[in-house]
Amino acid sequence: MEANDYQQKQEPKLFYTETYGCQMNINDSERLAGQLKTIGYEETENVDKADLILLNTCCVRESAEKKIHGRIGEMKRRKLVNPNLIIGVVGCLAQKDKEKILTKFPHVNLVMGTHNTHRLLEVIAQAEQSREPVLAVWDQAERLAPDVPTVRKGQISAWVPIMYGCNNFCTYCIVPYVRGRERSRPLADIVAEIRQLGAEGFKEVTLLGQNVNSYGKDSGSSTDFAELLQAVDQIEPIARIRYMTSHPRDMNDKVIETIKNSKKICEHFHLPVQSGNNDILGRMNRGYTTEYYHRLVEHIRQLIPGASVTTDLIVGFPGESEEHIIETLNFIKTIRYDAAYTFLYSQRSGTPAADYPDQVPVAEKKARLNQLMEIQNEISLQINKQLVGTSVEVLVEGPSKNDETKLMGRTRTNKIVLWAKAGAEKPGDLVNVQIATAQTWVLKGCLV
Ligand code: SAH
Ligand code: SF4
Ligand code: F3S
């Protein structure tokens, strides 16, 4: 046996993943890792050591797509160093562009879509054997793809999908085209996964779906989202439950009441409004008006005082005028969000809005985004300042990424809190922190 062969036999194969996009993709990467571990692959953080590189991609905005194209291109030179390297492009961009990726990047060995995630091992085996590029992109999802093993990145907080896909077809959005129709996971599977997480020491679970409020509707199941929340609220020793994303149109009293009466479901409502103008909302196909939305938030705040409300906003949707954006600015001043994620509208070919007339010039979009962020940042700061002097319950996550001397955690309302480690507090503990200073995106304080 050659020394080389010996080495190949002894050393486990290494894989490296890079994940773009939303939490759903992060969880998919955990499920890719889970499958690879079953055939002896180990994960590496060092891309230069990898035998297999998987880029798990997003295409929700052009900016994401461009960045990923750059990254796929860069991978080419690694093939020169390691001709056996397998490079895979998976996830939403793979689902959207399919063989176009292979044409543009001949050094890619496999392209696998979102509906094939659970079949990774077959695709890898094919790529290893054939050395011809493998295209594995099903057009449709299986009604219920079987669960696969998951290897999680964190130890405190875990993502748990409750449904896949989206039926809403907001006119700007590519997600329904790359993630397929809504499929709800059976309640028993979700509960079993969360029980297992509790047994493994996880303290927080985030239930994932593009529109969690429509849980169960596709399967004719008797369990709706509120009942799912009631069931998972019982699972010890999980301390906190979050969910994302909930569509404002489908948020209802039963869900709000459930959250109010629950122990673990956090008082944080992420309700993407997208625009503060009814004409734009109509053309986005969002299915609600600003008046409805305003009443919804008032109702939540009345029932659950202290709840935080956050949102997503898109500026520069086709046909958005100066008047429209002024209405949006006034709307965010009225609602007073704890935080908002703001995006420049990005034309996604294949979606209806991409062909709408009156696309807004980029410079104009950027100017509007700046205006919006300036106003929202001030509001976030004012709201956060009201917490100065109070004591908040924080779930300890670990050292702060930017400041190793500080610990980081979140309030139930999903605000980030930093403090200097004071005692024996460790990741997973619930502690109380007295807030001393407030910024737009962080609170700082001392352990009580
Ligand atoms: N299903 C979730 C998340 C969808 S993607 C939801 O409905 O809220 C997350 C956010 O990206 C959206 O809320 C929207 O604000 C933004 N987004 C989606 N498509 C976009 C596009 N074409 N251009 C700019 N922002 C977009
Ligand atoms: Fe996209 Fe709308 Fe579905 Fe969210 S609800 S994923 S914005 S189509
Ligand atoms: Fe992106 Fe796909 Fe999520 S397009 S935002 S990774 S569902």
In this structure, which ligand is nearest to the CA of 60? 3
Which of 83, 104, 136 terminates a domain? The answer is 136
Domain of residue 335, CATH code: 3.80.30.20
Residue 352 Cα, ligand 3 centroid: separation in angstroms? Answer: 18
Are 312 and 417 in a shared domain? no
CB 222 within 8 A of CB 258: no
Are 128 and 210 in a shared domain? no
Range(s) of the domain holding residue 351: 157-385
- 99 alpha carbon, distance to own chain's centre: 26
Are 193 and 282 in a shared domain? yes
Give residues with Cβ within 8 angstroms of 382, minimum separation 6: none
The residue to which tokens 């052009």 are assigned: 62
Residue 122 Cα, ligand 1 centroid: separation in angstroms? Answer: 32
- Is residue 446 a known part of a binding site? no
On the CB side of 214, CA atoms within 13 Å amount to 19
Rounded Cα distance, 401 and 405, in Å: 10
- Is residue 59 a known part of a binding site? no
Ligand 2 pocket, 352 CB below 6 A? no
Give residues with Cβ within 8 angstroms of 239, minimum separation 6: 203, 204, 264, 395, 430
Are 432 and 397 in a shared domain? yes
> What atom in ligand 2 is closest to the CA of residue 247?
5
Please indicate, yes or no, if residue 152 is contained in any of the structural domains: no
Are 352 and 422 in a shared domain? no
Please indicate, yes or no, if residue 142 is contained in any of the structural domains: no
Are 171 and 116 in a shared domain? no
Are 395 and 370 in a shared domain? no
On the CB side of 299, CA atoms within 13 Å amount to 15
Ligand 2 pocket, 168 CB below 6 A? yes
Are 372 and 326 in a shared domain? yes
Name the residue of 59, 168, 182 whose CB sits within 8 Å of the most ligand 2 atoms, as the mutation to test its pocket.
168
Which of 359, 385, 411 terminates a domain? The answer is 385
Please indicate, yes or no, if residue 227 is contained in any of the structural domains: yes
Task: Report the domain count for the chain.
Answer: 3
Are 337 and 303 in a shared domain? yes
Are 179 and 121 in a shared domain? no
- The tens-digit pLDDT sequence of the chain (448 residues) is 444 544 454 689 999 999 999 999 999 999 999 999 999 999 999 999 999 999 999 999 999 999 999 999 999 999 999 999 999 999 999 999 999 999 999 999 999 999 999 999 999 999 999 878 999 999 988 877 888 999 998 999 999 999 999 999 999 999 999 999 999 999 999 999 999 999 999 999 999 999 999 999 998 678 999 999 999 999 999 999 999 999 999 999 999 999 999 999 999 999 999 999 999 999 999 999 999 999 999 999 999 999 999 999 999 999 999 999 999 999 999 999 999 999 999 999 999 999 999 999 999 999 999 999 999 999 999 999 999 999 999 999 999 998 888 999 999 999 999 999 998 999 999 999 999 999 999 999 999 9
In this structure, the strands spanning 430-438 and 391-399 are antiparallel
Ligand 2 pocket, 173 CB below 6 A? yes
Ligand 1 atom 13: the closest Cα is on which residue? 312
> What atom in ligand 1 is closest to the CA of residue 313?
15
Are 37 and 172 in a shared domain? no
Ligand 2 pocket, 395 CB below 6 A? no
